[in-house]
Structure 1
């Protein structure tokens, strides 16, 4: 079975009552359509794409226009009747909805003119019921989408083998490697959507068919201002913005304080951890750090595992000011030691804290806490298999065992601390951001590497002892089962390394600038000079996705069978702009041979076709006229 067909393999059908609300519409005129609107609302379909197949008996196009006016959905109408399509277009034009909220197309009911996994709902009128199939409805529906057919609701389930990008670096171990079994090369474009541009920093998570992106406080161009301090929830199948919320100003978001689940988005700042309804953005509750367990209310790091929310919390930090821009257009911007990025005081540094908490997210109560004497750097906190590994700069590397709630070991050996070294300044277009995480882990090893590191350092999870070290340290790591992939700095090379020894197994292309690397079951991604590099791990060859470049802080994220490139924050012009999604092509035929069956003729005798009327000012040929002047006297 192909990965595309995996989305179509299961059908969940529920009979609702004796007659569904939509079925009722096919037998009675529905002016105002309360039954249809109610059915969509009950199915949780508020924003997104709704397909309408034909007009119900006894209704006209005004019914569909009224439905569009009373909802936030985008409607796609399809019918084999040219006159019916024309009437819908005329009514939508008169209402100012055509081409924005309502689209109409001519086509048979048996073959819908939308891509796979696009629609959240399909309304099938009685005349169309016998001419379409459940398989075709399931093809266009995305998971959790609902088709209303006669007296039934057909709900598309999630396919097996998908993996969420629940934490900022995929999971609490900070290893940006997706285990998604469907997101495999080759790819097809799923959507290109707004917003096109965003400020920095940006952090993203995804789960349940939704992508959540938090945009920070620095705009280098005017086209980024609209998204300053903004949280977006986006439909992961069609790019529709589901909801947005303002973020608390003065909090550096580039850290591990956002977690996605299918039902709840956890997002924390210097006041509390907010629990947001993933579908609506409504605030379900807040978790506030108790004053008696911590020296401050600020959330530095957090992870969700086994139904328990773990957090590092602590003192107030540097509060960076929002920086808007009046600089128009595109192009580069100046790097610098922006406010708070110098990490000069552990008492006020971004992400430095001393108290670990274990919290029950259901009751929002603290289960237990652990206090450290030294400040812990949240950029160097990773969690796996019931252990939290943490680093206090130039003091020690330690392990907190979650079962015993005690420190399992603490390593302050001189060889380890000298190997890790002091933080480099970063904040350069080749090295990257000072705020980036630089500790990752597996069950056996801890890995220090990133923009601030002079060398890559590997320590044992057993006791923190130094295992090996290697220059350079500015590697963007993806920890695969068989080996370590490291995207090297611009002008150098990357590496495929052996876990136990650090031996170079293969050299890889160097990355372009600062963007982080991420991976899937068959690929590793990072930024190329133009576009995206995809390392095919089957043979370690480099492929080129030319049209878009991964955004700076996120790279390519992978969730629910799809790959996502975020809005553009960089100044480089060599990219498509916007929120871009690719999906698995599976058995798609990229090279269709010409076939007579695909040719549509307007008339058997082409000479009998009336020519188009040509009027003065028409652009009838290449560059406007036979002299190729590329000019027009027609005023826009």
Structure 2
């Protein structure tokens, strides 16, 4: 069950998972206030009857909190809502007339119609989510989007595969912004109960196994759903069942290995999940792209309502999705395809065996396969822009004006404009490069950060920079849970 915190604070919980949070949702009209509301937390300040509050709360994805100065009116409206079975989803509290009892960035719509109530605009903007709206005595106030927060639209942040948010608010957590169940995932005997998570447009999207908690038994199947919440206050916006999902479908090739093994002893086999499933979800401010089943094609889903707009024909069982400049790129087992991100219409398809890595930026799609060539295509037409010999064949990461291929401690940097190899470092020249958890890298400004030991490399020259002393950051008991570090 969802709960929101009604307290004031100057510090909000910020995390890379919950950044990107831009949302104002239109929808069903509230005639009395002249505004459309579809989902989220709605606050009404001042005198109101149960009928108005019921209208504001119409719909499954809305929570309404009313604030009133008169204790007698609070009691009366509460009784009205209780008699109609509405109290809980709609609640009423007292109010001192000045301070709104909410954490920052929590309210989607604030309505102040009582002319005797005067709340300073700074206080109103404090509690509104970015793009949230306040109607104060007939005047409309919209909270702007801060320039210092970011979104996390792909598994590796964006289509560039560089897991670094353009965010300066992130810091040590100071309190919970919101809480939603489940408090615990099901069991350690099966894969994690969340297989994907992204955020865009002020919404948080994720897959969740809602099967029985704490029970490990082969006879109890998983129960997967695709869920959308308001990323600022946690209001559930919609939920879609996802059949044919989970370890029993992911690991079909391992089924014969289960024969003769007890449930506990076969646990390691159940967690051998292909890496592609975490890369099957991407989003923008209007749409979510996801496969609603193990072998299903990519669905284009309306981010606000959960309605399936289209299905991308020929995108069944994809390896990876990238969303860039209005084009959805799909990596397949036998090639790649590009679709119009709004309609799901196929733009082009290219047959290609065994793609090793794929990244996109600024109408450029870069990839390499078994031929040892790094190729750059026009994102919308698939025309080849350039092709260069690739010495270090590893995951691709795009930074401004360049693309990096990294495998283990080996790296090669190319110009994004023409494919020129700018520098190449190999520990053992002539031998295949291998990736490892210790040398995952992140590009921040003009610096490449590698592994978890504080090592740094100059992006422009490839030369080593002084390392930071973080020897105790990693201990033998830590496990990276198959994520990059």
Same fold (TM over 0.5): yes
For residues 547-582 of structure 1, the C-alpha deviation after alignment (integer angstroms, 9 at most, x for no partner) is xxx9956789xxxxxxxxxxxxxxxxxxxxxxxxxx
Q: Which residue of the partner structure matches residue 486 of structure 1?
A: 450
Q: Which residue of the partner structure matches residue 135 of structure 2?
A: 148
Quick one: which of 478, 481, 505 aligns to 2:466?
Answer: 505
Deviation at 1:364? 3.1
Deviation at 1:236? 1.1
Q: Which residue of the partner structure matches residue 257 of structure 1?
A: 280
Quick one: which of 389, 408, 418 aligns to 2:386?
Answer: 408
Contact 1:445 1:458 in 2 (8 A): no
Q: Trace 1:221-370 onto structure 2 (pairs within 5 A).
A: 221-222=214-215, 228-249=223-244, 250=249, 254-268=277-291, 270-289=295-314, 297-313=316-332, 353-370=333-350
Contact 1:391 1:398 in 2 (8 A): yes
CA gap of 1:404–1:355, structure 2 versus 1, over 3 A, is closer
**1:204 has 2:197 as partner:** yes
Q: Which residue of the partner structure matches residue 31 of structure 1?
A: none
Moved more, 297-306 or 468-477: 468-477
Q: Which residue of the partner structure matches residue 126 of structure 2?
A: 139
Contact 1:387 1:399 in 2 (8 A): no
Quick one: which of 162, 166, 173 aligns to 1:179?
Answer: 166
Deviation at 1:227? 7.9
What value does the CA root-mean-square deviation take over the aligned residues?
3.9
Q: Trace 1:368-447 onto structure 2 (pairs within 5 A).
A: 368-372=348-352, 374-377=353-356, 380-392=357-369, 396-402=372-378, 405-406=383-384, 408-409=386-387, 411=389, 416=392, 438-442=395-399, 443-447=401-405
CA gap of 1:285–1:132, structure 2 versus 1, over 3 A, is same
DSSP-derived class of the 1:408 partner: strand
CA gap of 1:447–1:65, structure 2 versus 1, over 3 A, is same
User: How far apart are the structure 1 equivalents of 2:38 and 2:43?
Assistant: 12
User: How far apart are the structure 2 equivalents of 1:456 and 1:262?
Assistant: 37
For residues 428-477 of structure 1, the C-alpha deviation after alignment (integer angstroms, 9 at most, x for no partner) is xxxxxxxxxx543334342335xxxxx33212323679812469831342
Deviation at 1:484? 1.7
For residues 273-319 of structure 1, the C-alpha deviation after alignment (integer angstroms, 9 at most, x for no partner) is 21111111111112112xxxxxx733222222222222222xxxxxx
For residues 1-53 of structure 1, the C-alpha deviation after alignment (integer angstroms, 9 at most, x for no partner) is x999xxxxxxxxxxxxxxx8335xxxxxxxxxxxxxxx5xx62333x222121
User: How far apart are the structure 2 equivalents of 1:217 and 1:204?
Assistant: 15
CA gap of 1:276–1:266, structure 2 versus 1, over 3 A, is same
CA gap of 1:3–1:274, structure 2 versus 1, over 3 A, is same
> Gaps (5+ residues) in structure 2?
1-9, 13-29, 186-191, 251-273, 428-433
DSSP-derived class of the 1:85 partner: helix
CA gap of 1:67–1:439, structure 2 versus 1, over 3 A, is same
For residues 466-517 of structure 1, the C-alpha deviation after alignment (integer angstroms, 9 at most, x for no partner) is 81246983134221113122343xxxx3423333335252133465589xxx
Q: Which residue of the partner structure matches residue 46 of structure 2?
A: 54
Contact 1:271 1:288 in 2 (8 A): no
Contact 1:495 1:505 in 2 (8 A): yes
Q: Which has the higher contact order (CA 8 A, sep 6+)?
A: 1
Q: Which residue of the partner structure matches residue 116 of structure 1?
A: 104
Larger Cα-atom Rg: 1
**Normalization by structure 2: what TM-score?**
0.70
**1:456 has 2:415 as partner:** no
Q: Which residue of the partner structure matches residue 21 of structure 1?
A: 31
CA gap of 1:358–1:370, structure 2 versus 1, over 3 A, is same
DSSP-derived class of the 1:376 partner: coil
DSSP-derived class of the 1:131 partner: coil
Contact 1:76 1:103 in 2 (8 A): yes
User: How far apart are the structure 2 equivalents of 1:106 and 1:75?
Assistant: 14
CA gap of 1:552–1:246, structure 2 versus 1, over 3 A, is farther
**1:82 has 2:71 as partner:** yes
DSSP-derived class of the 1:55 partner: coil
User: How far apart are the structure 1 equivalents of 2:420 and 2:214?
Assistant: 47
For residues 365-410 of structure 1, the C-alpha deviation after alignment (integer angstroms, 9 at most, x for no partner) is 32233222x3213xx22223444333436x5243132277237335
Deviation at 1:175? 0.2
Moved more, 457-466 or 474-483: 457-466
Contact 1:370 1:405 in 2 (8 A): no
Q: Which residue of the partner structure matches residue 564 of structure 1?
A: none
DSSP-derived class of the 2:72 partner: helix
DSSP-derived class of the 1:238 partner: coil
CA gap of 1:78–1:258, structure 2 versus 1, over 3 A, is same
DSSP-derived class of the 2:158 partner: coil
CA gap of 1:138–1:407, structure 2 versus 1, over 3 A, is closer
User: How far apart are the structure 2 equivalents of 1:21 and 1:223?
Assistant: 51
Q: Which residue of the partner structure matches residue 474 of structure 1?
A: 437
Deviation at 1:153? 4.0
User: How far apart are the structure 2 equivalents of 1:88 and 1:281?
Assistant: 33
User: How far apart are the structure 1 equivalents of 2:184 and 2:320?
Assistant: 27
